[in-house]
Structure 1
Amino acid sequence: MAGGRAGVAHLRGPRLLNETRLAAAELKAALGREAATLGFDCIGVTDPEAIGRAAGYFREFLDAGAHGDMDWLAAQPERRMDPRVLWPGVRSIIMLGVNYGPTEDPLALLEERTRGAISVYAQGDDYHDVIKKRLKTLARWLFATSGEDVKVFIDTAAVMEKPLAQAAGLGWQGKHTNLVSRDLGSWLFLGAIFSASDLPRDEAGTDRCGSCNACQEICPTAAFPAPYKLDARRCISYLTIENKGPIPHEFRKSIGNRIYGCDDCLAVCPWNKFAQAGREAKLAARDELRAPALSDLARLNDAAFRALFSKSPVKRVGRDRFIRNVLIAIGNAEDTSLAVEAERLLDDASPLVRGAAVWALSQLVGRERFDALAATALGAEADEGVRAEWRSTTVA
């Protein structure tokens, strides 16, 4: 196996461990059994041309600037819109899914305002690492059995996984733009194996959202301008993860205590009820990340942050962005005892953190106290962004 860029691995052939190649249908059936053994919950095969109209929707998304600062999405868009540009040798695309549905309702934590809500997928080990290992193992089996080249992709690579998963019959792309499965609901990690083998195709998934608009209606920041369309710039997942600067004032109150991502549109999906029966904890959450106290999180320095989020996707945002999110949640907590944490962070080395601390204090202390803090801080504050935060913030 030759490692490529993040999310990609390539096995080349022809080399066979089996003396006889399996017939295509038999190979596909054996592949499904092997995938189940490795812990995949669903598998399907589609054609490299199956992106179809989704390519045009993706182009519209980019042209509208709805991807925000995610420049990596706009880089070489043709690689996403046509898998054959990514790898001309691909003849079949194998899509796989792993259910990561929670055992508890993630919406319940939103009522515990002094605790942080971390998106379900980020409460355990980084799913990129977990799924990638399984995909590579399955790809090795396929390579050894078929003798044909294969490549492995997870969502760090330029693959439009959701429309391909729909084309492979794993489900359909719902009104929240995520994949929905009749059997597993909206909680699915996706991965892809590109193969030079010509495998039988599965029937595409059928949209079963019907008249339901629950995912649109629950979104705290109105990130869906229309069903099946997302403006990432308004999405809490984007704002708390991808966004590198201050969180815009217009969204701060709506973020509540969500400190990394947002599960609302997934959690409210009625198809999740079919994923409840017989669910196994295949991707376990860490107890310390289920409902961490905001007061504890606010005290994390860089070393403590890295230790707490070792092997977690949260680690990738870095301590400063994470503490920014924690401070927004503190400002929304309606607990004045947390003001001491925000006040302490007025002296933080990061302007991003100091600016968020200003806003948090404005929500927790009175006018007189806020003005006194501003008078002291503005005399020493060199960062114009933080100074602007002091001047523009309105005390709640």
Structure 2
Amino acid sequence: MKAGLKERLVAQAVTEGFDACRVCRPWDVGHVPGRLAAFLERGHHGQMGWLAERAHWRGAPDVLWPEARSVIVLGESYTPEGDPLAGLERRECGNVSVYARGRDYHDTVKKRLKRLARWLIAEGGGEVKVFVDTAPVPEKPLGQAAGLGWQGKHTNLVSRDLGSWFFIGSVFTTLDLEADPAEVDHCGSCRACLDVCPTDAFPAPYQLDARRCISYLTIEHKGPVDEELRARMGNRIYGCDDCLAVCPWNKFAVEAREVKYAARDDLVAPKLAELAVLDDAGFRARFSGSPIKRIGRDRFVRNVLYAIGNSGDPGLREVAQGLCEDADAAVADAARWAVMRLCDDANGLE
């Protein structure tokens, strides 16, 4: 292997647009199988059956690709401008998670990973595989093992250099690169992320019950959401940033360099009335190139109707009424719930 390859790799990663580059071994996350098994046993994965189906790979990266000798973990900032929770006060509008307000990060990060991987092959040889969020890879534990950050009490990766707002990608390689020291926990006694959660999705520090997490409910959960949780969702129509936004380590967050991550004007505070009436074609056209597109019109409009029900705005009742007989059962159920909520609000004012 050429001398100084690791140092040049880090420099090349920055050139490609990444903000952090660290290295660990595929077998450095030996604690993951036990934690994953406990998570699954509690049923905290909800409808995400793929977590159980591929647990043997997700828990052991060295099983996923036995020939790999190093994992290069990359971080790329998407730090928002302004307060990401400000939109929660505008109840007539929807609130979209920061990462989904711009272009789909999967495409952007994967292209960077592939360029970096090609560079690595040209410079050092070996074989590579690249991953970004769509394969059974324990990215956050690998990120901690590589020293990129640590899994906070909200289970997300936190960095002393990047705060909470960064995407993670990884390059597995057969090259034996120098590993970085693992990061240690710096949460201390802080529990801001746990206390801010609207749905009490954290049964204990470092544990997440996805079945109560708004990100899971708005993106992964199919069908109606439990009525006990609907009112707590507020106007969050795709994802939730609360636990990330309150982390004090965000004072070290760096500005996003990629313009594709900048928020689209129509996703900063989109009007619920406009979103609720989207048909399938309109939904696909509006969210072309957005990660929102993958959940489909029905699940998205369901979320919008929950937000309408929580808006307290009687002017939105007619919009919800028009969807009470929607072809999708979950949408129709959400519409009837929204109408009932708005009627109750109006009666309470009489």
> Residues 32 and 60 of structure 2 are in contact (CA less than 8 Å); yes or no, is this contact kept in structure 1?
no
- 2:115 is the counterpart of 1:137: yes
* Residue 111 of structure 2 is aligned to residue 126 of structure 1: no
Matched residue, 2:34: 56
Structure 2 residue runs without a partner (length 5+): none
Match of residue 11 from structure 2: 33
Q: Is 2:214 aligned against 1:236? A: yes
Instruction: Show the counterpart of 2:126.
Output: 148
CA distance in 1, matches of 2:257, 2:65: 35
- 3-state SS in 2 of match to 1:346: coil
- 2:136 maps to a residue whose letter is A
Find the aligned partners of 2:57 and 2:123 in 1 and give their Cα distance. 28
2:167 corresponds to = 189
Q: Secondary structure at the match of 1:345?
A: coil
Match of 1:143, as an amino acid? I
* 2: CA distance, partners of 1:197 / 1:39: 22
Partner of 1:257: 235
Secondary structure of the structure 2 residue equivalent to 1:74: helix
2:94·2:304 contact (CA, 8 Å) conserved in 1?
A: yes
The answer for unaligned runs of 5 or more in structure 1 is: 1-20, 370-396
Q: Specify whether residues 123 and 368 from structure 1 end up closer, same or farther in structure 2 by C-alpha distance, changes over 3 A only.
A: closer
The CA deviation at 1:281 is 5.3
Aligned to 1:203: 181
Query: Is residue 347 from structure 1 mapped to residue 335 from structure 2 by the alignment?
Result: no
Aligned partner of 1:17 in structure 2 is none
Q: Distance in 2 between matches of 1:126 and 1:87?
A: 27
Shift of 1:299: 1.4
Give the corresponding residue for 1:22. Answer: 2
Among candidates 57, 63, 67, match of residue 45 of structure 2: 67
Q: What is the DSSP-based 3-state SS (H/G/I as helix, E as strand, rest coil) of the residue aligned with 2:137?
A: coil
Q: Which has the larger radius of gyration?
A: 1
Deviation at 1:55, TM superposition (A): 2.5
- Quick one: which of 285, 290, 295 aligns to 1:307? 285
Correspondence for 1:215: 193
Match of 1:267 in 2: 245
Q: Secondary structure at the match of 1:193?
A: strand
The ranges of structure 1 where at least 4 consecutive aligned residues each deviate by more than 3 angstroms after the TM superposition are 278-282, 366-369
* Equivalenced residues, count: 347
Q: What SS does the aligned partner of 1:152 have?
A: strand
In the alignment, the residues of structure 2 paired with residue 105 and residue 368 of structure 1 have an alpha-carbon distance, to the nearest angstrom, of 31
Moved more, 100-109 or 217-226: 100-109
> Match of 2:70?
92
Distance 1:59 1:191 in 2: 24
From 59, 77, 80, the counterpart of 1:81: 59
Tell me, in whole angstroms, the C-alpha distance in 1 between the residues paired with 2:167 and 2:143.
Answer: 11
Counterpart of 1:341, as a letter, is V
**With structure 2 as the length reference, what TM-score do the two structures score?**
0.96
The yes-or-no answer on 1:45 pairing with 2:23 is yes
Q: CA RMSD in A?
A: 1.6
Output the TM-score relative to the length of structure 1. 0.85
Which residue number in structure 2 is paired with residue 167 of structure 1? Answer: 145
Of the three residues 332, 343, 346, the one matched with 1:365 is 343
1:157 CA drift (Å)? 0.3
How far does residue 353 in structure 1 lie from its aligned partner after superposition?
0.9
**Equivalent residue letter for 2:35:** Y
